[in-house]
Structure 1
Amino acid sequence: MIAEINKIKIEKEKFEKAAYILKAVAHPTRLAIIQLLDYQEKLTVNEICETLECEQSLISHHLINMKLRGILKSSKDGLNVYYSLKEYEVTKILSCIENCDCNM
């Protein structure tokens, strides 16, 4: 009985972390950014904007949000700020979406 209760507690913690990450990436632009950073190790805001054909302010908003939630990290090189994945496990979400056969 105690082993079962401990298992439920562990699963609850796992689900809480999963929900936190899913909330952080639950936007088409954020998912696209993650996909880009999965293919290219690091990119600047401008490179992401050009690739996704989005405004810089919108991309910056999404980048900052995901950085604050621990999904992305940034590094500065001269005048450029490069973003990269910090939480690589998040790319598994993209694999699940791509392989999903749920009439989407």
Structure 2
Amino acid sequence: MSEEKILLNESQADKLERIAYILKTIAHPVRLGIIHLLEQHARLSVTEICENLGTEQSLTSHHLQNMRLKGLLSVKRDGRSMLYSLKERDVSLIIECLENCNCNM
């Protein structure tokens, strides 16, 4: 049997690159927790996120900054607080799909 090569067009390749980029960015329990919280609340402060996740502020801020720089979160200043929100709502769909798969863990 001959091997048949499957070629992706540029649009398909770009889409797969973007999906891989998102998966790499969210591949941490704290980051997944942040996304889960922001799915439920339009905007949250670092303090609110820390309280809900039971995490240290420095660790949480590091993850929030990383996710913001990679384009998954938006941030808005409200007085002395920074309020974070999901910029990429499609991330929720990816996570939902993974949660619903029949993976034996």
For the criterion TM > 0.5, the same-fold answer is: yes
Whether 1:32 aligns to 2:27 is no
Q: What is the aligned partner in structure 2 of residue 21 from structure 1?
A: 22
Q: What is the aligned partner in structure 2 of residue 60 from structure 1?
A: 61
Write the mapping of 1:43-58 to structure 2, written as runs, cut at 5 A. Answer: 43-58=44-59
Q: Residue by residue, what CA displacement relative to the aligned partner does 1:3-31 show, whole Å, maximum 9, x if unpaired?
A: x96x5322111100111111111111101
Q: CA RMSD in A?
A: 1.4
1:81 Cα deviation from its structure 2 partner: 0.6
Percent identity of equivalent pairs: 52
Any stretches of 5+ residues in structure 1 without a counterpart?
Answer: none
CA distance in 2, matches of 1:62, 1:54: 11
Secondary structure in 1 aligned to 2:65?
A: helix
Give me the TM-score of the superposition, normalised by structure 2.
Answer: 0.89
Residues paired across the two proteins, number: 100
More helix by share: 1
Secondary structure in 2 aligned to 1:102?
A: coil
Deviates more, 1:27-36 or 1:7-16: 7-16
- The amino acid that maps onto 1:89 is D
CA distance in 2, matches of 1:29, 1:93: 17
CA distance in 1, matches of 2:10, 2:83: 38
Any stretches of 5+ residues in structure 2 without a counterpart?
Answer: 1-5
1:97 Cα deviation from its structure 2 partner: 2.2
Give me the TM-score of the superposition, normalised by structure 1.
Answer: 0.90
- The amino acid that maps onto 2:30 is T
Whether 1:90 aligns to 2:104 is no
Does the CA contact (< 8 Å) of 1:37 and 1:84 recur in 2?
A: yes
CA distance in 1, matches of 2:13, 2:91: 19
Deviates more, 1:36-45 or 1:91-100: 91-100
